[in-house]
Amino acid sequence: MKEVILCKYGELILKGANRQNFESMLVKECRRRASVHGIFKIYYLQSTVYIEPQNDECDMDGMFDTARKIFGFVAVGRAAVCEKSMESIEETVRNYIGDKLDGVRTFKVEAKRSDKRFPLKSPEIAREIGGVVLSLMPRLKVDVHHPDAEITVEVRDESAFVRIGQKPGAGGLPIRSSGRGLLLLSGGIDSPVAGLMMAKRGLDIEALHFESFPYTSERAKEKVLSLAEEMCEFTSRIHVHIISLTHIQEVLRDTCDEDSFTVLLRIFMMKLAERCARAYQCECLITGESLGQVASQTMSAITVTDSFANLPVFRPCIGMDKEEIVREARKYGTFDTSILPYEDCCTVFTPVHPKTKPKREDMMKELEKVDVDALVEEAYATMYTETRKVFENYR
């Protein structure tokens, strides 16, 4: 029996004249990701991407799991393919659903007839197939409101499809359909979530990590690279650019007001991030900041640091509390790595009483004590890049 994976997309349906561009990008990404699982025919038709295995060696389980992590799909299901006749559909139901209803007590049949030439209407198809299921398994009961299992019959232009349920997809827009953004990636919980939330909106994610060796360890950097690798389950590929902040932090510690240290450091981060973003054609910066979470994330502190940036700064977590961010981190699979106990640069030389209501004019006076341009130039010269991919040969 031939089985395919049906991937449904949501808001792409509303894209109007440029919808085909989004669909083409989605199929292209599917083909890239499918190459590791075997040979598949992948195409789109009627608001659905079809993933058809071309031989018995194809890893359908692996491909199904991969499809669920491709941004753009709201639902993914496996279905048996058959001819567009009630006889063929009924036979397919008998052969396909048996072992898939173990432990099920109630069911519902839903029919979708997109080919209006088919002689039976959707309610008639559902009624006929419901009768077939009950004849096979008299122990089952029909529950149209809260069934344990939902059997779906789709009659489309080329074929008919029978499936039992479907799983949620990653949602959003196809990766790289909205441009490119630079994520300030720390080793914490928030920034990977922020990056993935923006990737879900179609951004191609580059990442920038600040290290402070020897105050931060090699294991702290490896933790960040592990986070990037976990993010690649959804983004496919991330270039992580790494810049040393050690000398800047030492100069600020020795020269500037201690209570202003945190905000001053964020200003240098913004300057370096903007330079990196422009070098790699990124049109925005992305941070994991949540309003009021720490001293550098108060309204005043954010306003001051933003005033030193000439690119838009996206903060998708800004209105979320920690519990909500943790929930997203668990969903994306980054939480366990994020909580590993390795320090990041933001914990180095942290003042006892950091300013929570800084003023731009005060920060400007502090910056006059150091050679800002020289420090930025020196730090930027330390940059090197590590690349992480969902699999080695991803292109």
Q: What is the pLDDT of residues 151-192, one digit of tens each?
A: 999 999 889 999 998 999 999 999 999 999 999 999 899 999
Average pLDDT of the residues in 125-142: 94
CB 302 within 8 A of CB 171: no
Task: Evaluate whether residue 173 is within a structural domain.
Answer: no
Question: In terms of DSSP H, where are the helices of 203-354?
Answer: 218-235, 246-255, 261-279, 299-306, 322-332, 335-338
Residue 345's pLDDT band (cuts 50, 70, 90): low
Domain-terminating residue out of 146, 168, 190: 168
CB 370 within 8 A of CB 257: no
In the predicted structure, residue 81 carries a pLDDT above the cut 80: yes
In angstroms, the CA 265 to CA 330 distance is 30
- Residues in the chain, total: 395
In the predicted structure, residue 371 carries a pLDDT above the cut 70: yes
CB 164 within 8 A of CB 151: yes
Task: Evaluate whether residue 174 is within a structural domain.
Answer: no
Average pLDDT of the residues in 119-135: 95
Average pLDDT, the chain: 94
Task: Evaluate whether residue 141 is within a structural domain.
Answer: yes
Average pLDDT of the residues in 205-210: 97
In the predicted structure, residue 4 carries a pLDDT above the cut 90: yes
Residue identified by tokens 């519990």 is 323
Burial class (CB in 10 A: 0-12, 13-18, 19+), 139: exposed
Task: Evaluate whether residue 96 is within a structural domain.
Answer: yes
In the predicted structure, residue 111 carries a pLDDT above the cut 70: yes
Beta-strand relationship, 180-184 and 285-286: parallel
Same domain? For 98 and 31 the reply is yes
Helix axes 372-380, 246-255, angle to 10 degrees: 160
In angstroms, the CA 232 to CA 368 distance is 41
Same domain? For 148 and 184 the reply is no
In angstroms, the CA 248 to CA 180 distance is 28
Task: Evaluate whether residue 394 is within a structural domain.
Answer: no
- Domain with residue 93: its CATH number is 3.30.2130.30
In the predicted structure, residue 90 carries a pLDDT above the cut 70: yes
Residue 206 DSSP class: E
Same domain? For 160 and 232 the reply is no
Cis ω before 214 (30° cut-off from 0): yes
Same domain? For 240 and 312 the reply is yes
In angstroms, the CA 63 to CA 42 distance is 12
Residue 351's pLDDT band (cuts 50, 70, 90): confident
Same domain? For 238 and 138 the reply is no
Same domain? For 74 and 210 the reply is no
Q: Determine what percent of the chain falls in helix, strand and coil, rounding each to the nearest 5.
A: 45, 20, 35
Cross-strand pairs, 48? 8, 45
For the chain, the domain total comes to 2
Average pLDDT of the residues in 373-390: 97
Residue type present at position 59: D
Give me the pLDDT at residue 293, please. 87
62-66, 169-173, 257-261, 377-381: which has the minimum mean pLDDT?
257-261
11-15, 50-54, 90-94: which has the minimum mean pLDDT?
11-15
Structural domain that includes position 112:
3-168
Give the whole-number percent of the chain exceeding pLDDT 90: 84
Same domain? For 14 and 135 the reply is yes
Same domain? For 142 and 273 the reply is no
In angstroms, the CA 122 to CA 119 distance is 10
pLDDT greater at residue 227 or residue 346: 227
Residue 341's pLDDT band (cuts 50, 70, 90): confident
Residues with Cβ < 8 Å from 52, sequence gap 6 or more?
A: 2, 4, 40, 41, 42
In angstroms, the CA 167 to CA 59 distance is 18
Same domain? For 188 and 155 the reply is no
Same domain? For 211 and 116 the reply is no
Residue 118 DSSP class: S
Please give the helix or strand (H or E) that residue 111 lies within, else none: strand 106-113
pTM to 2 decimal places: 0.92
Domain-terminating residue out of 168, 194, 225: 168
Give me the pLDDT at residue 346, please. 67
